[in-house]
Amino acid sequence: MADPEAQGVSEELLALRQRSLPRGLQPAVDFIVDRAQGSQVWSVEGDGYIDFVGGIGVLNVGHGHPAVVAAAHRQIDQLIHSSAQVAIYEPYLRLADQLCRLAPGDFPKKAILFSTGAEAVENTVKIARSYTGRPGIVAFSQAFHGRTLMGMSLTDTVKPYKEGFGPFAPEIYRSPFPYEYWGWDSERALEALEESFRTSWPTDRMAALLIEPVLGEGGFVPAPFEFLQSLRRLADQRGLLLIADEVQSGIGRTGRLFAIEHSGVAPDLMSIAKSLGGGFPLSAVVGRAEVMDGPTPGQLGSTYGGNPVACAAALAVLEVVESEGLLARAEVLGSILEERLGEWGRRFPLVGDFRVLGAMAGLELVQDRATKEPATEATQRIIDGCRERGLLVLRAGPQHNVIRTLMPLNIPEDLLLQGLDTLERELARASVGRD
Ligand SMILES: Cc1ncc(COP(=O)(O)O)c(C=O)c1O
């Protein structure tokens, strides 16, 4: 039974939300969140939820991890802000050094910090253009790279991210992402890319290939490792840079610190954000030292980039990933997910396809397995049903018909299984009457 006082507060806040926020910001849930710990969140009304969303992939180490909280508290007492462009500070330098050490690639690296994923991606483009002296960036179908002007320009999906917001930045070239379920196997996607280079793109004006090693908002689709290896080869042959956008797939989500490591490929530049800051706004670009030094003094930066408290939290996050063995844990979650999603694939015709790389799993739902018509409404019904039964899950994919998993990597087994049972019941419910 809801506490009437808490219910009153909730109603008042929901009214404020309705009155004060633009409709363009649309929270996915209809409750006001009050607090969170580990793998659970609670509404102001006191309802608890198992969290398979993690603030959109930001909480790989869980909500309010004691080590992250302690590091942030210590830093708050010492220095909250100075701006790296004014005076640099130890947590920034330690974190940049760590990222250079941890990013793939056996070559000298440098790193710079920002606040958001989009800002990091934008800066990979600035750095790539500055270093190569060329403007062209190849981005892939179904890509999502953020909501700023460059982020939107690089993003493929029009609705809702781009609609009505153009004109977009020029010199962005699109090639098919290797999405096997939709007929684009690695070989075909590579042929399409090579064909564009041969016949329609100004080859001498191209700076970089930019790819999410696992499509995030685009539907949780891992690029086949051989495709990433081919991109590396093609970039080297043509004198282009390879940029990996690890904003959603990084910090252990897939069982490696960065998803591209599964392929053995080292990108020239990489954007990192989300789980890096453990909930504090923090992003980074790390890459080959000589490339990172393309822009001249004063050309890179931002007032808040690499905030000291966020850096201290990030250093704690990286330590937790190590000390709690979260990469191995992501693999364990991956096998549990693989088995469970496989079983659902056999039981429920609604399941068209599923993809699992570590704890980054996507379940694509279709009306009909032959036509692959997206089951957009059923997906939303399942997500709503899960929420009513105490589980938060998020959709993905341009047709909103993919359910994605972004639970904390250290989620206790009982909560994980409870969450999966809830999802299974809702899938079963949505499958009634279908065959
Ligand atoms: C792959 C990828 N790149 C960039 C972004 C943009 O990050 P932010 O929302 O922090 O700007 C996202 C956000 O979901 C993402 O998934």
The pLDDT tens digits for 229-241 are: 999 999 999 999 9
Q: Within 13 A of 418's CA, how many CA atoms are on the CB side?
A: 15
Ligand 1 atom showing the smallest separation from residue 273 Cα? 10
**Contacting residues for 336 by C-beta, under 8 A, at least 6 apart:** 416, 420
What's the CA gap between 291 and 129, in Å, rounded?
A: 10
Q: 406 near 253, Cβ under 8 Å? A: yes
pLDDT above 70: percentage of residues in the chain: 99
The pLDDT tens digits for 3-22 are: 889 999 999 999 999 999 99
pLDDT at 111: 99
Q: Which of 248, 258, 402 to mutate to test the pocket of ligand 1 (most atoms within 8 A of CB)?
A: 248
Closest to 412 measured CA to CA, from 323, 303, 318, 336: 336
Please give the distance of CA 281 from its chain centroid, rounded to a whole number.
Answer: 14
The pLDDT tens digits for 295-350 are: 999 999 999 999 999 999 999 999 999 999 999 999 999 999 999 999 999 999 99
| Identity of the residue numbered 145 | H
Ligand 1 atom showing the smallest separation from residue 274 Cα? 10
pLDDT at 3: 87
What's the CA gap between 91 and 96, in Å, rounded?
A: 8
Ligand 1 atom showing the smallest separation from residue 121 Cα? 4
Q: Whose CA is nearest to atom 3 of ligand 1?
A: 145
| Identity of the residue numbered 296 | T
Q: Which of 121, 155, 282 to mutate to test the pocket of ligand 1 (most atoms within 8 A of CB)?
A: 121
pLDDT at 426: 98
DSSP reduced 3-state for 278: strand
The pLDDT tens digits for 374-425 are: 999 999 999 999 999 999 999 999 999 999 999 999 999 999 999 999 999 9
The pLDDT tens digits for 189-200 are: 999 999 999 999
The pLDDT tens digits for 380-391 are: 999 999 999 999
Using the predicted structure, report yes or no on whether residue 433 has a pLDDT greater than 80.
no
Q: How much distance in Å is there from the Cα of 276 to the middle of ligand 1? A: 12
- Give 435's pLDDT tier (boundaries 50, 70, 90): low
Pocket of ligand 1 (CB under 6 A): 56, 116-118, 121, 144-146, 212, 216-217, 245, 247-248, 273
Using the predicted structure, report yes or no on whether residue 228 has a pLDDT greater than 80.
yes
pLDDT above 90: percentage of residues in the chain: 98
Q: How much distance in Å is there from the Cα of 45 to the middle of ligand 1? A: 30
**Contacting residues for 88 by C-beta, under 8 A, at least 6 apart:** 82
**Contacting residues for 281 by C-beta, under 8 A, at least 6 apart:** 115, 116, 304, 307, 310
What's the CA gap between 15 and 17, in Å, rounded?
A: 5
Q: How much distance in Å is there from the Cα of 407 to the middle of ligand 1? A: 17
Q: Which helix (H) or strand (E) holds 43?
A: strand 40-43
Tokens representing residue 233 in the block: 């080869």
Q: How much distance in Å is there from the Cα of 261 to the middle of ligand 1? A: 19
The pLDDT tens digits for 129-162 are: 999 999 999 999 999 999 999 999 999 999 999 9
Closest to 310 measured CA to CA, from 357, 272, 361: 272
Q: Whose CA is nearest to atom 16 of ligand 1?
A: 248
Q: Where are the alpha helices (DSSP H) in 324-368?
A: 326-347
Q: Which of 60, 113, 125, 144 to mutate to test the pocket of ligand 1 (most atoms within 8 A of CB)?
A: 144
**Mean pLDDT of the 273-300 span:** 98
What's the CA gap between 57 and 254, in Å, rounded?
A: 12
DSSP reduced 3-state for 28: coil
> What average pLDDT is seen over the chain?
97
Q: How much distance in Å is there from the Cα of 143 to the middle of ligand 1? A: 10
- Give 432's pLDDT tier (boundaries 50, 70, 90): confident
Ligand 1 atom showing the smallest separation from residue 147 Cα? 11
> Radius of gyration over alpha carbons of the chain, in Å?
22
Ligand 1 atom showing the smallest separation from residue 217 Cα? 16
Q: 5 near 27, Cβ under 8 Å? A: no
**Contacting residues for 305 by C-beta, under 8 A, at least 6 apart:** 84, 112, 113, 114, 115, 119
pTM of the model: 0.98
Neighbour count for residue 97 (Cβ, 10 Å): 13
> For residues 42-63, b (16+ Cβ closer than 10 Å) or e, as one string?
ebbbebebbbbbbebbbbbbbb
Please give the distance of CA 180 from its chain centroid, rounded to a whole number.
Answer: 20
